[in-house]
Amino acid sequence: MAHLVQIEDPADPRLADYRDLRDVELRKNLEAEHGLFLAEGEKVVRRAVEGGFTPRSFLMAPRWLDGLADVLDRSEVPCYVLSEALAEQVTGFHVHRGALASLQRRPLPSLDEVLDGARSVLVLEDVVDHTNVGAIFRSGAALGFDAVLLAPRCADPLYRRSIKVAMGTVFKMPWTRLPDWYDALPSLSARGFTTVALTLAADSSPIDEAVAGVDKVALVLGSEGHGLSSRWEQAADRRAIIPMAEGVDSLNVAAATAVACYVTARR
Amino acid sequence: MAHLVQIEDPADPRLADYRDLRDVELRKNLEAEHGLFLAEGEKVVRRAVEGGFTPRSFLMAPRWLDGLADVLDRSEVPCYVLSEALAEQVTGFHVHRGALASLQRRPLPSLDEVLDGARSVLVLEDVVDHTNVGAIFRSGAALGFDAVLLAPRCADPLYRRSIKVAMGTVFKMPWTRLPDWYDALPSLSARGFTTVALTLAADSSPIDEAVAGVDKVALVLGSEGHGLSSRWEQAADRRAIIPMAEGVDSLNVAAATAVACYVTARR
């Protein structure tokens, strides 16, 4: 089982994986360079391990040890045990859910692997907010989508905040980065998917009509701020809109995704 | 027009309305006691004023003055002008969107006023997260809902974070607090609304069937953690579910609301 290591010094170099969790830029660099990601909370830590990710270490306050005893039992890495006050000093925030794990990233699967057998997929262009990425994974998983594809600039699904909002569905739902931005949608069409871009474009049809009777669908979503690039908007096989009341800015991307997934799942 | 007041001292007592914006508990007390709320960002500040709320003051960095010139022109209150660094010291965070306004709350309308002419309303029991409350207002407004009713423990739609996520729709959408938790749903039924509770209860029907052909609908939503109270779940005229994939925890309340509003709007 994981060996418990009592920590008394917040500067202990063994805690390097857990430093400054609120500093997004620092974390992005650190996690990319070391090929790691962080999971937070008993439920999410358990799902990461059950999802087949290899832990590098755990960090928790004593009162969380029991809840994760089964997970710790099956692991051989250190579990750093420290007070909640000390944990807050290291991570830079109050660790509500008490348990953290640092896990090894895996090589991303190929597009073909991710699409194998898939009938409904989500394609995110430049969704830059981790909360939105997490919410989209959660809704996609709940509403029966099979995979998620990310444009090169889309935010990281394995960032701590994405994972938390996704309730760990990022561990189960197959996903990968699209190797090429420019031809991403045509390459999906070539694989037999009808690409349906969610947009406010003038020539878009209501989402239920756009997906009616379509077999393999790739639902394409743009960035929070300005939506899809014109390249993607034009390269999509169809453009679809969620009919909305006048004078409202539109749904946010996570809400729009939930609605579009619901409608698409029932096509 | 608003009179510009240059501020050099972050401790200036005239900035009291803008202190420590990240301290949720402190802000709740301060805002309740002084009957104020804060709007953040050019678009949201403008919407608050256009929504008929009376400003107490504005606070912004010099570069935001031009964008809000029309709003400032129509107001007689002070506009505190200070550097972004100083604004960060006062508020406790980096004010991305540069402009803040403190506005006077208004007395809440009665239930009858809010329901007058309404055909589709949202009823939130204990949604405690300001982001979720804001997202629900935005989706409800975008998808054609007429009003929002809040149980006594639901989070404040005029909290800065709610307003921001709602993109200011909280200023336009009629809403109020339900005077009584226990009989809230029966009192809506007595007013001719069919109350439809969104729940995972065993006797719930798919949402599209639950709302089909219903005239006046009140869509009832529970808390993030444990959903609806059993009182509300049982007191509702109907129980409805959004059909979901197995093994996923369920949609989050904001995503579920977006789907339910979409379906209900097309009943």
CATH code at position B78: 3.30.1330.30
pLDDT of residue A250: 82
pLDDT, tens digit, for every residue of A177-231? 998 999 999 999 999 999 999 998 888 999 999 999 999 999 999 998 889 999 9
Best B259, B261, B267 residue to mutate vs chain A (most A CBs within 10 Å) = B259
Q: In which band, very low, low, confident or very high, does the pLDDT at A72 lie, cut at 50, 70 and 90?
A: very high
Interface of A with B in 240-259 (CB under 8 A): 242, 244-245, 247-252, 254-259
- Tell whether B95 and B118 lie within a shared domain: no
Which CATH number is A146's domain given? 3.40.1280.10
The residue among B104, B129, B152 that closes a domain is B104
Q: Which residues of A touch B252 (CB under 8 A)?
A: 135, 138-139, 165
Number of structural domains (chain B) is 2
* Segments of chain B scoring below 50 in pLDDT: none
The three-state secondary structure class of A238 is strand
The residue among B39, B71, B104 that closes a domain is B104
pLDDT of residue B224: 87
To the nearest whole angstrom, how far is the Cα of B20 from the nearest Cα of chain A?
Answer: 17
Q: Check: CB of residue B72 under 8 Å from CB of residue B79.
A: yes
- Taking one residue from A and the other from B, the number of pairs with CB-CB distance under 8 angstroms is 85
What is the spatial distance between Cα A227 and Cα A234, in angstroms, rounded to a whole number?
13
Report the chain B residue with the minimal C-alpha distance to residue A256. B258
Q: Which residues of B touch A255 (CB under 8 A)?
A: 135, 138-139, 142, 254-255, 257-258
What percent of chain A has a predicted confidence (pLDDT) above 70? 98
- Tell whether B16 and B136 lie within a shared domain: no
A169 close to B (CB below 8 A)? yes
- Tell whether B57 and B154 lie within a shared domain: no
- Tell whether B248 and B122 lie within a shared domain: yes
pLDDT of residue A1: 82
- Tell whether B157 and B247 lie within a shared domain: yes
What is the phi-psi region of residue A176: left when phi exceeds 0, alpha when psi lies from -120 to 50, beta otherwise? beta
pLDDT, tens digit, for every residue of B219-243? 999 998 889 999 999 999 999 999 9
The residue among B72, B104, B136 that closes a domain is B104
Q: Which residues of A touch B135 (CB under 8 A)?
A: 252, 254-255
To the nearest whole angstrom, how far is the Cα of A88 from the nearest Cα of chain B?
Answer: 17
pLDDT of residue A46: 94
Across the interface, whether the CB atoms of A142 and B244 are under 8 A apart is answered yes
- How much is the mean pLDDT over chain A? 93
B216 backbone dihedrals φ, ψ, rounded to 5°: -90, 120
B142 close to A (CB below 8 A)? yes
Best B22, B211, B251 residue to mutate vs chain A (most A CBs within 10 Å) = B251
Domain that holds residue B168: 111-265
pLDDT at A249 over 80: no
- Tell whether B122 and B214 lie within a shared domain: yes
Q: Which of A102, A155, A99, A105 is nearest to A131 (CA)?
A: A155
Best B262, B263, B264, B266 residue to mutate vs chain A (most A CBs within 10 Å) = B262
DSSP secondary structure letter of residue A200: -
- Tell whether A165 and A249 lie within a shared domain: yes
Across the interface, whether the CB atoms of A251 and B144 are under 8 A apart is answered no
Find the Cα–Cα–Cα–Cα dihedral B243, B247, B253, B256, rounded to 10°: -20
- Tell me whether 0.90 is exceeded by the ipTM: no
- Tell whether A11 and A84 lie within a shared domain: yes
pLDDT of residue A225: 82
* Beta partners for residue A206, in sequence order: A241
Q: Which residues of B touch A250 (CB under 8 A)?
A: 142
To the nearest whole angstrom, how far is the Cα of B183 from the nearest Cα of chain A?
Answer: 31
Residue whose pair of structure tokens reads 């570069």 in the numeric block: B63
Q: Which residues of B touch A92 (CB under 8 A)?
A: none
Considering only the beta carbons, identify the residue of A142, A242, A252 that sits closest to B251.
A142
- Tell whether B215 and B138 lie within a shared domain: yes
- Tell whether B171 and B243 lie within a shared domain: yes
To the nearest whole angstrom, how far is the Cα of B265 from the nearest Cα of chain A?
Answer: 10
Considering only the beta carbons, identify the residue of B142, B247, B250 that sits closest to A244.
B142
pLDDT, tens digit, for every residue of A116-161? 999 999 999 999 999 999 999 999 999 999 999 999 999 999 999 9
pLDDT, tens digit, for every residue of A90-117? 998 887 777 999 999 999 999 999 999 9
Across the interface, whether the CB atoms of B143 and A251 are under 8 A apart is answered yes
* Beta partners for residue A238, in sequence order: A196
Counts of helices then strands in chain A (DSSP H, E): 11, 12
- Tell whether A127 and A256 lie within a shared domain: yes
Across the interface, whether the CB atoms of A249 and B144 are under 8 A apart is answered no
Q: Which residues of B touch A139 (CB under 8 A)?
A: 251-252, 255
- Tell whether B137 and B252 lie within a shared domain: yes
What is the spatial distance between Cα B46 and Cα B242, in angstroms, rounded to a whole number?
37
